[in-house]
């Protein structure tokens, strides 16, 4: 169905949304290939929900443009609406109805006849591990069950593009894994998924490409590998037996590796941030480094190799971590 010549499910150019003085989305360019999971990663208030709402035609942009499967989100909003579905930080199901009642009702609203709606509801409840809870009112569901029924509701008719806005925020690890499996299954059916998340491991697990957004702007975009490469191949942490030999060890490492070597506060410790060498893995580089230190008679007591996490990527790109409270406070800027 999604046979756009460009192969893009979403294409935006300079997308802007302002709320009073706040530029919630500040010139966002995205190109989301059809048939993949695309991750939009950013901390609280980065502009993720605002971006999704514009793309789902729930909010009108103040600037720039966006196309969903080639349709302009403003001028051709109806066509866009016909191809997308969303779930996440909004309620989509009725709390007072049971799981079955919700899905049957939504199926009927989509134009399915009652038996077909019932069959589809039962299939989805089963697939999402909700068969036992099918007859319970949704208000009695746990957070994980609630998230799963939300997603089930949004894929009643298989959408070409599914927006999942922080689908696992607040879920326990087991429920997160269940939601991840569902996302993988949805994509396997040909649906494109735009997933927003504050969790680096979630983007890492699910997405083929990731846009990192901070304060309304895309600050990095690429495959997971490309993003990781932008902060290097990882780091080697060493503890030497003899603090007197540390300067010499630093020289050796600097000469041998394309590494930035840092002295740690502990007088025997140092960290080498490995550069990206095409033919050389981080482990190879580390092994060579250890060999060279041994030849120089420098004893290494402790050694560890750290792979860069997406967390480190974020830190390297923004200068602050993904949590709340460390960066400059921007929350009070919201105009009435
Ligand atoms: N309706 C609104 N009125 C005023 N300001 C808003 C409105 N919606 C969002 N904002 C502001 O726009 C900015 C981006 O908000 P948005 O909800 O898009 O962020 P987010 O990335 O989804 O964050 P979170 O991870 O907390 O859901 C924030 O500063 C927020 O306070
Ligand atoms: Mg949000």
Question: What CATH number should be reported for the domain holding residue 33?
Answer: 3.40.50.300
Rounded to a whole number, what is the largest CA-CA distance in the chain? 80
pLDDT score for 198: 87
Looking at residue 323, its pLDDT comes to 57
Domain match, 290 and 143 both = no
Number of structural domains the chain divides into? 2
- Ligand 1, atom 6, lies closest to the CA of 19
What pLDDT sits at residue 325? 37
The Cα 253–Cα 233 span in angstroms is 15
Can you give the pLDDT at residue 327? Answer: 34
The answer to whether 310 and 227 are in contact (CB under 8 A) is yes
Range of the domain at 242: 232-307
All residue ranges of the chain with pLDDT < 70 are 1-5, 88-91, 231-233, 276-279, 307-312, 320-336
Residue 136 has a pLDDT of 97
Task: Report the pLDDT value the prediction gives residue 308, as an integer from 0 to 100.
Answer: 66
Distance 238 CA to ligand 2 centre (A): 40
Last residue of a domain, one of 228, 249, 264: 228
Residue with tokens 């326990």: 172
The CATH number given to whatever domain includes residue 257 is 3.30.70.100
Decide if 318 is inside a domain. no
Please report whether residue 129 resides in a domain. no
Question: Tell me, what's the pLDDT at 279?
Answer: 62
Query: Distances in Å between the alpha carbon of 117 and those of 253, 255, 330?
Result: 65, 68, 46
Closest ligand 1 atom, residue 46 Cα: 21
Ligand 1 binding pocket, CB closer than 6 Å: 19, 22, 24, 42, 44-50, 89, 198, 334
Ligand nearest the Cα of residue 53 is 1
81 and 40 in one domain? yes
Is 75 part of any domain?
yes
* Same domain (yes/no): 155, 238: no
pTM of this prediction?
Answer: 0.75
- For residue 58, how far is its CA from the centre of ligand 1 (angstroms)? 14
Q: How far is CA 108 from CA 101, 118, 119, 122, in A?
A: 10, 9, 12, 14
């Amino acid at each position: 169905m999604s046979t756009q010549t460009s192969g893009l499910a979403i294409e935006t150019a300079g997308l802007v949304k302002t709320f009073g003085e706040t530029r919630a989305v500040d010139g966002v360019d995205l190109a989301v290939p059809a048939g993949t999971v695309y991750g939009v990663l950013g901390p609280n208030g980065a502009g993720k929900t605002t971006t999704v709402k514009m793309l789902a035609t729930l909010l009108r942009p103040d600037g720039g443009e966006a196309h969903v499967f080639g349709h302009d989100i403003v001028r051709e909003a109806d066509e866009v609406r016909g191809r997308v579905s969303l779930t996440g930080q909004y309620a989509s199901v009725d709390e007072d109805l049971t799981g079955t009642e919700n899905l049957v009702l939504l199926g009927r609203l989509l134009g399915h006849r009652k038996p077909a709606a019932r069959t589809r509801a039962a299939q989805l409840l089963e697939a999402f591990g909700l068969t036992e809870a099918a007859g319970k009112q949704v208000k009695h569901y746990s957070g994980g069950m609630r998230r799963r029924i939300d997603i089930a509701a949004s894929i009643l008719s298989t959408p070409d593009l599914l927006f999942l806005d922080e689908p696992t925020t607040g879920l326990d690890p087991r429920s997160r894994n269940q939601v991840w499996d569902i996302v993988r299954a949805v994509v396997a059916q040909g649906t494109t998924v735009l997933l927003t998340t504050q969790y680096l491991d979630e983007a890492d697990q699910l997405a083929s490409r990731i846009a990192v957004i901070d304060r309304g702007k895309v600050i990095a975009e690429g495959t997971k590998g490309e993003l990781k490469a932008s902060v290097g191949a990882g780091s080697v942490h060493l503890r030497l037996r003899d603090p007197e030999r540390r300067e010499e060890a630093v020289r050796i490492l600097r000469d041998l590796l394309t590494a930035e070597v840092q002295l740690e506060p502990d007088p025997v410790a140092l960290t080498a941030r490995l550069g990206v060498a095409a033919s050389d893995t981080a482990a190879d580089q580390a092994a060579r480094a250890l060999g060279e230190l041994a030849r120089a008679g420098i004893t290494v007591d402790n050694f560890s190799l750290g792979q860069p996490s997406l967390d480190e990527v974020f830190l390297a790109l923004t200068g602050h971590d993904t949590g709340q409270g460390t960066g400059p406070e921007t929350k009070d800027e919201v105009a009435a």
